Structure 1
Amino acid sequence: MTGRTATERNSAMSRRQILDLVHRFADAELNGDAAAYERLLTPDFTGIGPVGFVLDGRQWAARHDDLTNHAFEVLDPQVRLYGDAAVVTAVQRQRTTARGHDASGSFRLTLVAVRDGDRWAIANLQLSGPLRPPTAPPPSAPATGDPETISRDELRTAIAAGTAVTVDALPAPAYDRRHLPSALNLTAEDAPASAGDVLPDRAARIVVYSTDTSCTRGPDLAAELKRLGYRNVRLYADGIEDWVAAGLPIETGGGA
């Protein structure tokens, strides 16, 4: 068996350097290390977020003034080399709070790196998503659409009477910090695998909520439950922020 050629050795070294670059990028995102981006990004860097906003390097670093990553990882990075450039595809998974709202999720990450002397730097980054598990509606599932909503007063009455199952659609850390009385916890991402355990009665009256009207997690979970065959799902669109602003009681901890 012959040894590797110089080209193969250089290619292997470049891949290791690029994977290290991706690892350092993930560390900078997790720690909000704005100074690290000066070493990680090219001067003409462009970053494109999951909803289409375009940021230069300074603006990308400044995002951390308004957001906190409680957990952040780049999964299964795949590197393709093209001379002094490389394309990396991966999945970015994060548990994030942005301007007081939950911005957690998994996103498809495409990253373009270029060689700058003896180092690699990120020239472009684009996110798409959030990713959702593929699910097909069962034959008996009702047609999907905008979920029927419920007001705060209606929900308060239903909770007091025990006539509705309330479900917090936020990730577990947010649920643990505070949730509506007796609320269960289930996210749209986990619903395909876990809804049957959390909500065994598909005919039950279910009320889903998240942060407020700007948060998509509540509507996403309501739609997911309808696709899974739950027949009586309503959305408290104003969410826990409205509940707290009204001075109504909340619970904390992981058990409902």
Structure 2
Amino acid sequence: MSTTLSEQAVADFVRDWSAAEERGDHTALDELLADDFVGVGPRGFIRSREQWLERYRSKTVRNSSFEVSDLRIRILGGTAVVVAAQTQESVNGDADAGGAFRFTLIVTGEDGRLRLAGLHLSPRAAAAPG
């Protein structure tokens, strides 16, 4: 069963996802990530759903802030593509993992609810010349 997507529903989903990321709430993220979720990190590494959740279960990744802004949502049938800005203060183990990023989320209507199928994160650079 697919879920009808609206910009508001997707924006609400992104808000819920970012709040769970900020808290490191692997239980909430377990409900939000699609079974075949794939995350691509800012240095090109790939994490499966289980690897993404394990970062928080093990407390390896800890966020003290996680803010999303500048949402740009495109609805493409039963899928939404979201491009946004994100800043975070966090650590990964003992290393600083904070910074400013751009991300692309792929949100699907799955089993009657929205799920995050994919995420691609990259460092945010200055605006490209005109």
Name the TM-score, length of structure 2 as normaliser.
0.87
Larger Rg computed on CA atoms: 1
CA displacement, residues 21-79 of structure 1 (integer Å, 9 cap, x when unaligned): 10111111110100111211110010000111111111101112212111101111111
Q: What is the RMSD computed on CA atoms of the aligned residues?
A: 1.8
What's the offset of the Cα at 1:97? 1.5
- SS at structure 2 position matched to 1:132: coil
Identity of aligned residues (%): 37
Give matches, 1:63-78, under 5 Å: 63-64=55-56, 65-78=59-72
Report the equivalent of 1:244: none
2:21, 2:29 within 8 Å by CA — same for their partners in 1?
no
- Name the counterpart of 2:102: 108
- The amino acid that maps onto 2:82 is V
1:160 match? none
2:7 paired with 1:37: no
Give 1:18 shift. 0.8
- Structure 1 unaligned blocks of 5 or more: 1-9, 135-256
TM-score, normalised to structure 1's length?
0.46
Match in the other structure for 1:128: 122
- Misfit runs of 4+, over 4 Å: none
- Equivalent residue pairs, number: 124
Q: Which has the higher contact order (CA 8 A, sep 6+)?
A: 2
- 1:97 aligns with 91
Structure 1 match to 2:49: 57
Q: Distance in 2 between matches of 1:34 and 1:23?
A: 16
Q: Does 1:21 align with 2:8?
A: no
- Gap runs ≥5 in structure 2: none
Q: What one-letter code is carried by the residue in structure 1 that aligns with 2:126?
A: P
* More strand as a share of residues: 2
What is aligned with 1:86? 80
- For 1:43 and 1:117, the matched residues in 2 are separated by 11
The alignment partner of 2:15 has SS state of helix
Which of 35, 38, 50 is the matching residue for 1:46? 38
